[in-house]
């Protein structure tokens, strides 16, 4: 079969147009939602493993005066996730969280709030709408990205959780405790 020069030019134009369109189209999701929910399930278990590794008597430990205690780090993870995912979705969280008045940070309280907060995130993630992913918020405390959209917020919260969990790994090491093996 012989293709005319005109057909080749038309075909090349269509391929280039399709490629250009694909490059400029906004990505609606970084990950498949089911994969991202699974990532949060793994993060939940890993975070609970880190929280369980620290003996209750060391939940008030902090390596220097400027840091949060181990328990406060974990409460920060739980509270921040509930706060931000409620902000994105409007779905009632399992517990109220006011960053200015954080709850008790003893081991028993922390484990309960972590469990509830991760279950909440895992439940609401698949319910997030395209409109909620595109909506923007003004958050002055987020340096470098003060006006994130919903998509950036959910990715940031995943990274935020990992950041504070990793700090808790260092707290464990400072107390001579081997942290749980990393998993993902």
For the chain, the average pLDDT equals: 86
Strand partners, 149: 136
The pLDDT score that the predictor gives to residue 15 is 52
CA dihedral 126, 130, 132, 135 (to 10 degrees): 150
Q: Quick one: which of 45, 59, 46 has its CA closest to 172?
A: 59
Residue 15: inside a domain: no
Residue 180: inside a domain: no
The pLDDT score that the predictor gives to residue 94 is 96
Which pLDDT tens digit goes with each residue over 86-143? 999 999 999 999 988 989 999 999 999 999 999 999 999 999 999 998 998 888 887 7
Residue 108: inside a domain: yes
With beta carbons less than 8 A apart as the criterion, state whether 88 and 154 touch. Answer: yes
Q: Quick one: which of 127, 135, 116, 118 has its CA closest to 91?
A: 127
Domain that includes residue 58, residue range? 30-174
Residue 113: CATH number of its domain: 1.20.120.450
Which pLDDT tens digit goes with each residue over 148-180? 888 889 999 999 999 999 999 999 999 999 999
Residue 20: inside a domain: no
Q: Could you write out the DSSP letters of every residue in 68-84?
A: PPHHHHHHHHHHHHHHH
Q: For the whole model, what pTM was predicted?
A: 0.82
Residue 113: inside a domain: yes
With beta carbons less than 8 A apart as the criterion, state whether 133 and 90 touch. Answer: no
Q: Quick one: which of 40, 43, 24 has its CA closest to 32?
A: 40
Residue 77: inside a domain: yes
The number of domains in the chain is 1
């Amino acid at each position: 079969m012989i293709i005319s020069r005109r057909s080749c030019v038309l075909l090349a134009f269509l391929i280039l147009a399709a490629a250009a369109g694909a490059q400029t189209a906004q990505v609606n999701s970084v990950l498949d939602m089911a994969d991202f929910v699974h990532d949060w399930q793994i993060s939940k278990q890993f975070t609970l493993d880190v929280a369980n590794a620290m003996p209750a008597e060391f939940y008030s430990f902090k390596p220097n005066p400027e840091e949060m205690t181990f328990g406060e780090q974990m409460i920060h993870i739980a509270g921040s996730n509930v706060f931000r995912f409620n902000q994105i979705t409007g779905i009632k969280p399992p517990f109220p969280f006011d960053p200015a008045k954080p709850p008790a940070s003893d081991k028993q309280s922390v484990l309960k709030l972590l469990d509830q907060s991760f279950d909440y995130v895992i439940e609401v993630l698949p319910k997030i709408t395209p409109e909620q992913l595109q909506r923007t918020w003004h958050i002055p405390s987020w340096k470098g990205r003060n006006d994130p959209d919903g998509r950036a917020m959910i990715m940031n919260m995943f990274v935020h959780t990992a950041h504070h969990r990793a700090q808790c790994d260092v707290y464990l090491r400072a107390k001579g405790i081997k942290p749980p093996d990393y998993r993902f």
